[in-house]
Amino acid sequence: MSGRFAYRKRWGAEIAPSGEASFRLWAPAVSALSLVCGGSGALAMTAAADGWFELSTDRVKPDDTYAFQLPDGQRVPDPAARAQAGDVHGPSVLVEPRDYAWRTASWRGRPWEEVVVYELHTGLFSERGDFAGIEARLDHLVETGVTAVEVMPVAQFGGGRGWGYDGVLLYAPHRAYGGPDGLKALVDAAHERGVMVLLDVVYNHFGPEGNYLHLYAEDFFNAARETPWGVAIAYERQPVRDFFIDNALYWLEEYRLDGLRFDAINEIQDPSGEHVLEAIAKAVRARFPDRHVHLTTEDDRNITRLHPRDPSGQPLLYTAEWNDDFHHAAHVAATGESDGYYIDYAVDTVAGLARGLAEGFIFQGEKSHFWGDAPRGEPSAAQPPTAFVNFIQNHDQTGNRAFGERLTSLAPARAVEVLTAILLLSPQIPLLFMGEEWGETCPFCFFTDFHGELADAVREGRRREFGRFPAFADPAARESIPDPNAEATFRGSLLDWSALDSPQGRARYRLVQRLLAIRRAEIVPRLRDIAGAAGRAETTGRGVIGVRWRLGDGSGLHLAANLGKTAAPRSVTPPGRVLFETEAGLAQASQLPPWSVAVMLEES
C-alpha cells in the first residue's frame, strides 16, 4: 500500500497527477460561471452537458483558495470542498489529499461482532474541542474496552459550535475541529490502537446557514416534497445522487473510516426505482470488498428491508439499525417517565423490553399512540441480534431533553447499573455515550452558534417545541430552557473528566470495564455466526424478565433480571456458568431482589 489515499469526486476540485487542478460544478440555474482563484482574478468556466460547468487550470495550487462566481457577481464556496479557508460563507481551499502519509495503510478494520461503540462530540469530548483532543484520550477508550469511536457529524456548519446536524459543506471537516489532516491523524492513531472510527453523516437536509446550492442549482431540491427542515432534496436527479454516493465513498476511502451512521433516514424521500440509500450501500459494498466497513441507520419507522443478509449472514446493504425501542423501554423502566414518545412504552414496559432484547424491535406493526394510533414497525425477530445497535443514552435522547439531563441524573444508580449490565452483556451491539463509562452527570444540551434573526428563530422554536409538555405549559417555564446560542450552554455541556477520579466515578468505570471484559472474552467469540430468531423471552408480570439467545456456536446465553421495585420469584432457574450477577448467588436464587440481573452461559 502506498500510504496515500485520495478519492476522485464528481463534484468540486481535484488535482491530477500532472499537478493541474480541475473544477466541476452542477449549476443548471445559471447561464455562466467563473472560478475565482485566490488573488489571480476570475477564469471563465466551460458549460458542459446537463448543467455542468468545468475548468482545468494550473493557476490554482494546493492550499490556494478558490470560489465560484455567479453571473450577478456573488461568490459561493465549493459545495464539495475538502476544506474551507474560514467560515461557510468564504472561499474554499484546494487540498491535495495525497500529502497525508498514512502509517496504518494496511488496516482492514474489525468484524462487526467485535464492535463496542462509543459516541462522542468532538467539541465537547475534551477541553481542546478538536480531533487532537480525542486522539489524546484514545488510550483511555482502549482501557475501557471500546473498539469503535463514533464521531458526531463534522462536516462544516455555520459558526464554530453545534451538534453537526446542520452541516452545509458535506465534504469538509470543520476547521474548528482541525480540518482534513486533523481527522486523518485521529483515524490513523485510532487504527494504531486497534480502534475503529465511524462517522455520523447527514443526508436528509442541509443546515440553515451557508447553503448556497439554491442560487445556482435549485433543481437540487424538490419543492413538491417537504421535510421537518424545509424543502426536500431531489435524490431522483443523477447529479444529486452522485453527490451523496460520492460523499459516502469519499469518507471511507480518503479518510480510511471504518463505517458511517446515516442520520434520520426516514426523512430521505426518493421516488427513484432504486432508492438512493440502496445505491449508496451497493456502491460501498462493491468498492471495499476486502475491508470491514459498517453502515448503520437511524430510522424511527422500525423497518428491516435495508438490512438483508446473504446466506452466510453477511450484510448485503446496511449492517445494523439504531434501536430506539430498546432505549425508550429501558428509560421508562428506570425513570417512570411517560411524556412524548415514552407514552408508547409506559404500558407493559418490562414485557416490551424483554421482547426488544429477544427480537430487536418492540413495535413490529402494532399501533403507536404517539403516531396517532397508526401501525409502526415491521417484524424483526428474523434479524440476528447483531443487526441492532442498543443504548441507554445517546446524543439525541439526552440532548433533546429541555435541560439535557443524562440518565445518571434521572434514575437511581442501581437501576442505571443493571441496565448497563443488560446493555453490555446482550448479543446486540452496545453503544455508550461519552462519559457514560464513569456515570457523567453534566448535561448534554442542544447548542448552536447562530446569530441575528436565525438565532432568535432557533431559540424560540426550541422553546415552543416543549410547550406541548405539561411541565412547560407556562411560558415562564419555557423561558428557563437554555438558549442554544449562548456559549454558556455549550460550555456547560463539556465533559467533566475529573469526575472519573471521584469514588462514584471510579466504581462505575470499574463496572463498565468488567462488563466489557466479560463481553470480549465470553460473548464476542460466539457472535460471529449468530442467526436470526436467536432470542426467546418470558416475563412473570412482576418486573422479572428472562431472555435466552442461541449464539453462533450453539451455546446459550441466559439473562434473568428484576426491573421492579420489589423482590419477585423467577419462573425457572436457567442452567449455565455464571458470567455476571449483581450479587453473589443471584443466578441460582428463586427470588430476584429489586433491580438485579444475572447472566449465564450454557456451553454448546
Residue 39 reports pLDDT greater than 80: no
Place of cell 433516514: 265
**pLDDT surpasses 80 at 527:** yes
Question: Read out DSSP for 497-555?
Answer: GGGGGSHHHHHHHHHHHHHHHHIIIIIGGGTTT--SS-EEEEE-SSSEEEEEEE-TTS-
Residue 421 is placed in which grid cell?
449490565
Least confident range from 31-40, 89-98, 355-364, 397-406: namely: 31-40
The residue behind cell 489571480 is 40
Report the alpha-carbon angle 283-285-288, nearest 5.
Answer: 100
What are the grid coordinates assigned to 87, written together? 467560515
Contacts of 401 (CB under 8 A, 6+ apart): none
What's the alpha-carbon Rg for the chain, to the nearest Å? 25
Nearest to 577 by CA among 548, 557, 602: 602
> Residues with Cβ < 8 Å from 438, sequence gap 6 or more?
499, 500, 505, 506, 508, 509, 512
Residue 315 DSSP label: B
Residue 215's pLDDT band, with cuts at 50, 70 and 90, is very high
Going from the N-terminus, what domains does the chain have, and what CATH number goes with each?
A: 12-99 (2.60.40.10), 117-337+384-450+484-521 (3.20.20.80), 534-602 (2.60.40.1180)
298, 300, 437, 522: the active-site residue: 298
**Among 242-246, 507-511, 537-541, whose mean pLDDT is lowest?**
537-541
Catalytic hit among 114, 119, 263, 449: 263
pTM > 0.95: yes or no:
yes
Catalytic site residue 263? yes
Phi, psi of 304 (to 5 degrees): -120, -5
Cell numbers describing residue 493: 455541556
Strand-strand pairing, 388-390 and 429-433: parallel
Residue 128 backbone phi and psi in degrees, to 5: -65, -35
Whole-Å CA distances, 41 to 44, 67, 93, 96, 454: 10, 11, 16, 22, 33
Name residues whose C-beta falls within 8 Å of residue 399's C-beta, 6 or more positions apart in sequence: 163, 444, 445, 446
C-alpha grid cell, residue 106: 494496511
With b for 16 or more beta-carbon neighbours within 10 A and e for fewer, the 330-343 pattern comes to: bbbbbeebeeebbe
Mean pLDDT of 196-215: 98
Please report which confidence band the pLDDT of residue 540 belongs to, taking 50, 70 and 90 as the band edges: confident
| pLDDT score for 1 | 58
DSSP 320-379: EEE-HHHHHHHHHHHH---SGGGGGGSSSHHHHHHHHHHHS-S-SS-EETTTTSEE----
Residue positions counted in the chain: 604
192 contacts 103 by C-beta, under 8 angstroms: yes
* Residue range 46-68, pLDDT digits in tens: 999 999 999 999 999 999 999 99
